[in-house]
Amino acid sequence: MLERLFQLRAHNTNVRTEILAGVTTFLAMAYILFVNPSILGGTGMDKGAIFVATCLAAAIGSATMGLIANYPIALAPGMGLNAFFTYTVVLHMGHSWQVALGAVFLSAVCFFLLSIFKIREWIVNSIPLPLRSAIAAGIGLFLALIALQNAGIVVDNPATLVGLGDLKQPGAILAALGFVLIVGLEALKVRGAVLIGILAVTVVSILLGLSPFNGLVSMPPSLAPTFLQLDIAGALNIGLVSVIFAFLFVDLFDNSGTLIGVAKRAGLMGKDGRMPKMGRALIADSTAAMAGSLLGTSTTTSYIESAAGVSAGGRTGLTAIVVAVLFLLALFFAPLAGSVPAYATAPALLFVAVLMASGLAEINWEDITEAAPVVVTALAMPLTYSIANGIAFGFITWTAIKLVSGRTRDLNPALIILSVLFVIKLAWFNA
């Protein structure tokens, strides 16, 4: 049955290798079980329900990807998108988390339709590569600011906006040590380095009496507080159009980049340089995002950590199925997730920020018409506390600079139309 479903021999792999690859991928991305409730919990959502929603969304998404596209790619609620959900849409713009979930659902429906009608290629191809790298880097800087805040290393200052926190506090010290541990283990190629770092800080915190230990295993908490609580009608408000677009836009490029990157490493790219079954993979991703919003979590997307499983030999959807099963088993570890303090997940956020900021290395810094919009995009996200604003400023700056410098060949109709819409949004509809 497994051979018929996943064509293991055709992909030069076997069941044992695929199981090992699935376990490897799960260990690399399991940190989301602790980080996602920590971030989304800031909206007032029930953390136990978020934990269950995270496990189920990851299991449904990974299983769908494995069965529909037969790719060794796992899915879970996306980093960056969960921060945008909490810190921009709910806390900064003042919308309820129910409305934010509605926006996630609508963006997933749009993504699904774009995938069905193959409009995605037109949108992706219209966005310059430097801006794509800038968006990833900007999200990384945004996550870094959140991480440093959660650790108490960066605090608000009425004179300078931000300032240095009290570094003698145990949370700040443990977060710093946790980050060093994660980076060190990653450098040594230790599997599950991020997860080990989170658990190490949590254990030390509990032993020192800084945070309570809620237990290790129990029956899963109730999903009722978040299940089907999304407000789709509220999300159709004109002021939320840019929010829906931001969810869609970030997921679109983050997902496309992840799929292509993992496919390249797995040797699954076609001879023409294109990814076969890309349409199926995108349909699986958008379906998972819709399911996640119904369950009660921010956008579910493909994880770059899937590359860890590919490095361990994963080549088919069986790897993703194994990840799905492990996320279902993780449902019974909710008490452990509830024992993790914010300063224990801060090192993980900071580490993800480092990985995302690496995209800046691909920028041609000699061309000022590229470098300037990239810097504006990357800085606007953390400094305005909004991924959507960063994308808007990046598009507008790129288009304006290219027009003024006479580099109209670097523009296209889609880019100009989107820039005009962003100007209108910032001028008249900015929350």
pLDDT of 142? 81
Which residue range forms the structural domain that includes residue 8?
Answer: 2-428
**pLDDT for res 405:** 92
Per-residue pLDDT of 175-202, as tens digits, reads 999 999 989 998 998 877 877 888 899 8
The model carries a pTM of 0.73
Parts of the chain with a pLDDT under 50: 431
Distance (Å, whole) CA 62 – CA 58: 6
The answer to whether the beta carbons of residues 229 and 296 sit under 8 Å apart is yes
Predicted pLDDT of residue 57: 92
Contact 343, 53 (CB under 8 A): no
Burial 96-124 (b: 16+ CB within 10 A, else e): ebbbbbbbbbbbbbbbbebbeeeebeebe
CA 235, CA 232: separation in Å to the nearest integer?
A: 5
Provide the pLDDT for residue 270: 63
- Residue 59, pLDDT score: 93
Instruction: Report d(CA 244, CA 88) in Å as an integer.
Output: 12
* DSSP string for 108-150: HHHHHHHHHTT-HHHHHHHS-HHHHHHHHHHHHHHHHHHHHHH
- Residue 124, pLDDT score: 61
CA distances (Å), 33 to each of 123, 319, 328, 343, 368, in order? 32, 19, 11, 15, 41
Cα 181 to chain centroid, rounded: 22
Average pLDDT, the chain: 83
**What pLDDT is stored for residue 271 in this prediction?**
63
Beta carbons of 350 and 148 less than 8 angstroms apart: yes
Q: How many domains does the chain have?
A: 1
What element of type H or E holds 300?
A: strand 300-302
Compute the distance between CA of residue 152 and CA of residue 146 in angstroms, rounded to an integer: 10
User: 430 phi and psi, to 5 degrees?
Assistant: -70, 125
Q: 221-235: per-residue pLDDT in tens? A: 888 898 888 888 878
Query: Which two structure tokens, joined as six digits, stand for 303?
Result: 């994880």
Q: What is the dihedral of CA 90, 95, 99, 103, to 10 degrees?
A: -70
Contact between 247 and 31 under an 8 Å Cβ cutoff? The reply is no
pLDDT of residue 412: 84
Rounded to an integer, what distance in angstroms lies between the CA atom of residue 161 and that of residue 145? 13
